[in-house]
Structure 1
Amino acid sequence: MSQPPAPGAAAPRLIPFMYELVVAGTRLPLLVRGQRIVAHGLDLIPASGRLVIAGGNHTTNMDPFIIAQVLPKGRRVQFMAKKELFKGPIGWLISGGGSFPVDRSKNDLGAIRGALRVLQAEGTLGIFPEGRRGGQELQGGTALLALKGKAPIVPVMLSLKGRTWTARFGAPIAPAGSVKELTERLGAAFEELGT
């Protein structure tokens, strides 16, 4: 876990055309349902440089796509996602869009290295610190990746009321202190955004 990625190792592949195709394609379910997205705090997201986008609540399969749809132009987020999603044509599509698999049943060193490579390439890593949909407790992995990758964390909370999705982004949290301290600061930011 403490070993950084090998110098020159490539970040998980992101094909810009595929990324845009995935983002555009996931607008369709929203249109069919008559839903829209409202985003707050987009001005808090740094325009460039390595960044972790951390979702404070993960309740639907649409959550990563909602975040991707509202990010400022030039910010393409690469999500760490459960390995079960990477089977068949859907897996090919989301892989081309930059997402990469994680085996949640173990400490997946390959996924950790992939996440650090995204950050070392000055990319945007997307992660849900609870580790799964409907999780109740923040895990320390997000803080660990931010500290090792020297990347600020931008927290985001999602909600759906009626036909309106709301994405609330918070101010970047500097990658400083211990894993526990950074996880606690992230949790406090989620609480503030959720009120």
Structure 2
Amino acid sequence: MWSSISLGILKLAGWRVIDRRPADLGSAIYLVVPHTSNWDFLVGLLARSGRKIKANYLAKKSLFDSPLGWLFRALGGFPVDRSKSTNITDQVVEYFNTVPGFSIAITPEGTRSKVDAWKTGFWRIAHKAKVPLVLTSFDYSRKEVVLSEPYHVGDDMETDIAALTEYFKPFVGKNPN
């Protein structure tokens, strides 16, 4: 029921979901690019519900310290304290190794602001846990949520990030600048 409602809301807003994932996809990292607006969260929740994706997400700790913190947790959020040098990547790898079917959404920009380089934790997690990436974009110019076929990282982070950056170039965020 929630799936149909979520897809209906997206459709009413003019959005469509293009889902190229295989039906038997297990654990994955949903790499979400570009992330330029708070609206990405709502579009992402609707697409996640509409496509029956069981995925958690990482978000800044201050969201969980707010009066709505309970809601962010209930929606699958994991708080990240960016002021501390805790090793979140190892914690997430441990989840992948111990929780069957675990998936998580990560925005490699780490912020809604324009950045020159992505944070690389997603690659380290995918490489250590041996899980694929699902390249996920919210293209506001076409009003499309695109979920790619699984992308398996290799042993060369720079090569992978260059390929991923190239893949995401055509997709336009809500606030592209």
Q: Tell me whether the two structures share a fold, i.e. TM-score over 0.5.
A: yes
Determine what percentage of the aligned residue pairs are the same residue.
23
The answer to whether the Cα contact below 8 Å between 1:45 and 1:154 also exists between their aligned partners in 2 is no
TM-score w.r.t. length of structure 2: 0.77
Q: How does 1:116-127 map to 2 (within 5 A)?
A: 116-120=93-97, 121=99, 122-127=101-106
Please tell me whether residue 87 in structure 1 is matched to residue 65 in structure 2.
yes
1:108 alignment partner in structure 2: 86
1:175 partner SS: coil
TM-score w.r.t. length of structure 1: 0.70
In 2, distance between residues paired with 1:46 and 1:82? 31
1:63 alignment partner in structure 2: 40
1:158 deviation in Å? 1.2
1:38 alignment partner in structure 2: 16
1:152 alignment partner in structure 2: 132
1:96 alignment partner in structure 2: 74
- Letter of the 1:169 counterpart: L
Please tell me whether residue 132 in structure 1 is matched to residue 117 in structure 2.
no
The answer to whether the Cα contact below 8 Å between 2:15 and 2:145 also exists between their aligned partners in 1 is yes
- 5+ unaligned residues in a row in structure 2: which ranges? 173-177
Write the deviation string for residues 101-154 of structure 1: whole angstroms up to 9, x where unpaired. Answer: 112234332x33442244232211100011111232222111111111211011
The answer to whether the Cα contact below 8 Å between 1:51 and 1:125 also exists between their aligned partners in 2 is yes
1:67 partner SS: helix
Of stretches 185-194 and 143-152 in structure 1, the one that deviates more from structure 2 is 185-194
- Letter of the 1:142 counterpart: F
**Count of residues in Structure 1 that have an aligned counterpart in Structure 2:** 163
The answer to whether the Cα contact below 8 Å between 2:108 and 2:118 also exists between their aligned partners in 1 is yes
1:181 deviation in Å? 2.6
Write the deviation string for residues 54-86 of structure 1: whole angstroms up to 9, x where unpaired. Answer: 111111113133223224644211111011100
The answer to whether the Cα contact below 8 Å between 1:156 and 1:193 also exists between their aligned partners in 2 is no
The answer to whether the Cα contact below 8 Å between 1:64 and 1:79 also exists between their aligned partners in 2 is no
Aligned in 2, Cα 1:113/1:91: closer, same or farther, shift over 3 Å?
Answer: farther
In 1, distance between residues paired with 2:94 and 2:167? 26
In 2, distance between residues paired with 1:108 and 1:45? 34
- 5+ unaligned residues in a row in structure 1: which ranges? 1-19
2:166 alignment partner in structure 1: 188
